[in-house]
Amino acid sequence: MSARAVVPASSPHLALLVGSTRSGGAGRTVARWFLARAEEHGFRDVDVIDLAAIELPVVTGAVTGEGPPPVVADLARRIDAAEAFVVVTPEYNHSFPAPLKNAIDWFRHEWYAKPVSFVSYGGISGGLRAVEQLRLVFGELHAVPIRDSVSFHRTREQFDEGGAPKDPVGCGTAAKIMLDQLSWWARSLTEARAKRPYTA
């Protein structure tokens, strides 16, 4: 999975946030599949933020002294540059992973007035309970959670050994619906922020 793809100026800058740091999990497989769908849809400027590859410190309170650690400052620039987000998340104990919450909580204004959509995976629930909680978190951060999402129930049964979904039509249709909405919101909110900077 490439970290960045080069692209036409008209394409919204998308950040694909892979929320699980668990070794051997299904997150990378799901993220690779979705990245291909996003690029096919027209999102050519994609920054893949894989939390498993970032040694992000735990949020312990207000940053003092010389400012945030370099790894946090670098991630802040990447999130601030994004015009839309897709969060790929599993469900752990009816919620989302702690490293994902930590990554979200390091930042605030970087999320403001930007659309966020979700690709979830898990057991029988398909990660949907994690998504419902993430909607509350991002709403508090003045982001705009998108109505439709993509979910994989019993994830390991949904992909073959090569990482391709066994039902490409079903999940592909869900991804297109979500990406249509995300594209509209990304373009609309980017234009709105340019005309009237968002304050909270």
Task: Report pLDDT digits (tens) over 35-51.
Answer: 999 999 999 899 999 99
Q: Do 167 and 150 form a contact (C-beta atoms < 8 A)?
A: no
Q: What is the mean pLDDT of the chain?
A: 92
Note whether 116 and 148 are within 8 A (CB): no
| Distance of alpha carbon 16 from alpha carbon 45, whole angstroms | 10
Strands (DSSP E) contained in the chain are 14-18, 46-50, 84-90, 115-122, 144-145, 150-153
The span from the CA of 94 to the CA of 84, in Å, is 26
Q: Does the pLDDT at position 142 exceed 50?
A: yes
Report the length, in residues, of the chain.
200
Give the model's pLDDT for residue 114: 98
* Ranges of H-type helices in 8-152: 27-41, 70-81, 98-105, 128-140
pLDDT digits (tens, 9 = 90+) for 52-94: 999 999 997 666 667 889 999 999 999 999 999 999 999 999 9
What's the mean pLDDT in 122-135? Answer: 95
The whole-number average pLDDT for the span 131-141 is 98
Q: Is 107's pLDDT higher than 50?
A: yes
CATH architecture of 14-195: 3-Layer(aba) Sandwich (3.40)
* Residue 7 pLDDT greater than 80, yes or no: no
Statement: residue 197 has pLDDT above 60? yes
**pLDDT > 90 in the chain, percent:** 84
